[in-house]
Amino acid sequence: MKILMVTSEAVPFAKTGGLADAVSALSIALTELGHDVRIVLPRYYKIDRDKLNILPGPMCVHCGFGETWTAVYESVLPGKTPVPVYFIDHEQLFGRDGIYGTPQETDFHDNPERFSLLCQGAFQLCRKLSWIPDIIHAHDWSAALAPALLKFNERYNGFEKTASVFTIHNLGYQGIYGKHKFPSTGIDWTNFFAAGFEDYDCMNFLKAGLVSSDYLTTVSPTYAKEIQSPEYGFRMDGILRYRSENLVGILNGVDTDVWNPSKDKKIPKNYTAKTISKKLENKLALQEKMGLEVNPDIPLFGIITRLADQKGIAEIFAPTYGCAYSMCRDMNMQFVILGSGESWCENEIRTLQSNLPNLRAYIGYDDALSHLIEAGSDFFLMPSRYEPCGLNQMYSLLYGTLPIVRCTGGLADTVQNYNEQTGEGTGFVLDNLTPQSIYDTVGWAVYAWYNKKDHIEAMKQRAMKQKFGWDESAKKYVEVYEKALNKLN
């Protein structure tokens, strides 16, 4: 099967979140199953042209804002199975810092033109390569135009046997802009409503993807159910209920070549479930690095997060409201934080750090430190307001670090709640997102640490035996592709 991934992100080339990891890992897994997978994304300023190969000749893209000429570069995903990656190069639209925006301009004003060029360029790339895919797989709002173009333009122009699949990685980001930008999509005004763009007199890229795609997927089974409700549906729940027969939740996998405590080169000491006692060396190294008391007997809680509302940061850190100060004051525990985001939260974490000897933070992102926190922590705190899939809770499980999560999305699908009577479970689960609920659940974990050590050790063993590879997920995507193709017949 020929599969084209249309995306704004793919590791190691461009990344802001889990979308980039998922696209690349899924592409590799599908290739290893024998499929012909290729990826197309923009050539952003930070992607060095000198490390890419240019395809001969320019490429003409007939965008709604006029005839546009681009260059196309190519590379491959690193790894044992090469996956071709193509980059659409247009200096005016893509030659800048940032993927969607910058701190000064958080959402580029010309994003409709930028991602229209990506999606329209994807079809022209196929023609340039003389390679027509069976499946166009678009990811998130920035690629959502591709299914609409296929349905209303390209299916009558050489792509008659091509089906579309659209994956929702996070329904909260939709790409909503003034409808005066609609001509840039290249779709005729007569299809503005039929293609699903109309949204309260604006245009909504993600909504168009939901309406126009042959099949829809999202990144966990529970999230697929949640987004059909008003609470989690971000106004799209009615469409998603209508399309429920063509909506499938498939849990993201983990790149176990990168996140694997037995061979992780970014941690001081490798270990397995059988040698889990060696995990302690990572804990002591983390305590020392972060300036905490080096003491194996104190439970160490880690958190790696975007400091954004989705992640429950107000309930943890908000002044006079969040529970971080009272947890660190009342409980014999330690807390390590790695993250960046909203400035009020960064400032409050700095204040907490100056007042609490058992709380330490690194504001920003450090890949090596993220691996050390996963390996060195005893517990990992992730009380998200909503979480389509989540990766850190899966990393934590694989590293024998017990997650403390809210029962939502992929967190609910991957973490089994602790049973104090039997010792079963792989983590601690809270239902309501409130400061008191987080405080109580962390307190529950601290209690178990000091009073149920046999349970804790059994839970770590159970956690490390979980399987989160991409093999099974890729097979489920193939089933979706076959269903999408069957709809054409």
Task: Express as a percent the part of the chain with pLDDT over 90.
Answer: 93
Q: Taking the CB of residue 361, how many other CB atoms lie within 10 A of it? A: 17
Write the pLDDT tens digit of every residue in 66-95: 899 999 999 999 877 899 999 999 999 999
Write the pLDDT tens digit of every residue in 352-391: 999 999 999 999 989 999 999 999 999 999 999 999 999 9
H or E element, residue 353: helix 343-355
Average the pLDDT over 178-190 and give the result: 96
Report the C-alpha gap between 311 and 306 in whole angstroms: 7
Predicted local confidence at residue 486, as pLDDT: 96
Predicted local confidence at residue 16, as pLDDT: 87
- Beta-bridge partners for 88: 42, 72
Report the C-alpha gap between 197 and 187 in whole angstroms: 10
Question: How sure is the predictor about 65, in pLDDT bands with cuts at 50, 70 and 90?
Answer: confident
Which residues have a Cβ under 8 Å from the Cβ of 50 and sit 6 or more positions away?
Answer: none
Distance of CA 324 to the CA centre of its chain: 26
HSE-CB for 217 with a 13 A CA cutoff: 24
Predicted local confidence at residue 365, as pLDDT: 87
Residue 163, judged by CB atoms within 10 A of its CB (0-12, 13-18, 19+), counts as buried
Three-state DSSP state, 57: coil
Predicted local confidence at residue 103, as pLDDT: 79
End-to-end CA distance of the chain: 16
Nearest to 78 by CA among 4, 5, 12, 8: 12
Predicted local confidence at residue 318, as pLDDT: 97
Average the pLDDT over 348-353 and give the result: 97
Q: Structure tokens of 22?
A: 């998922």
Asked if 289 and 302 touch (Cβ cutoff 8 Å), the reply is: no
Write the pLDDT tens digit of every residue in 140-181: 999 999 999 999 999 999 999 999 999 999 999 999 999 999
Predicted local confidence at residue 90, as pLDDT: 97
Predicted local confidence at residue 78, as pLDDT: 80
Write the pLDDT tens digit of every residue in 197-251: 999 999 999 999 999 999 999 999 999 999 999 999 999 999 999 999 999 999 9
Average the pLDDT over 462-466 and give the result: 97
Three-state DSSP state, 24: helix
Question: How sure is the predictor about 483, in pLDDT bands with cuts at 50, 70 and 90?
Answer: very high
Asked if 406 and 387 touch (Cβ cutoff 8 Å), the reply is: yes
Asked if 195 and 152 touch (Cβ cutoff 8 Å), the reply is: yes
The pLDDT of residue 469 is above 90:
no
Write the pLDDT tens digit of every residue in 31-55: 999 999 999 999 999 999 999 999 9
Average the pLDDT over 400-422 and give the result: 97
DSSP string, 156-215: GTT-TT-EEEEEES-TT---EEEGGGGGGG---GGGTTTTT-EETTEEEHHHHHHHH-SE
Predicted local confidence at residue 489, as pLDDT: 80
Report the C-alpha gap between 457 and 448 in whole angstroms: 10
Write the pLDDT tens digit of every residue in 2-27: 999 999 999 999 998 889 999 999 99
Write the pLDDT tens digit of every residue in 122-146: 999 999 999 999 999 999 999 999 9
Q: Taking the CB of residue 486, how many other CB atoms lie within 10 A of it? A: 11
Residue 143 φ/ψ region, left for φ over 0, alpha for ψ in the -120 to 50 degree band, beta for the rest: alpha
Predicted local confidence at residue 212, as pLDDT: 98
Which residues have a Cβ under 8 Å from the Cβ of 212 and sit 6 or more positions away?
Answer: 147, 148, 150, 151, 152, 164, 166, 195, 196
| Residue position matching structure tokens 């409050």 | 348
Average the pLDDT over 394-423 and give the result: 97
Cα 116 to Cα 16, 66, 83, 95: the distances in Å are: 20, 12, 24, 16
Supply the pTM of this predicted model: 0.92
Predicted local confidence at residue 222, as pLDDT: 97
The pLDDT of residue 463 is above 80:
yes
Q: Structure tokens of 265?
A: 């080169």
Three-state DSSP state, 119: helix
Which residues have a Cβ under 8 Å from the Cβ of 432 and sit 6 or more positions away?
Answer: none
Task: Express as a percent the part of the chain with pLDDT over 70.
Answer: 100
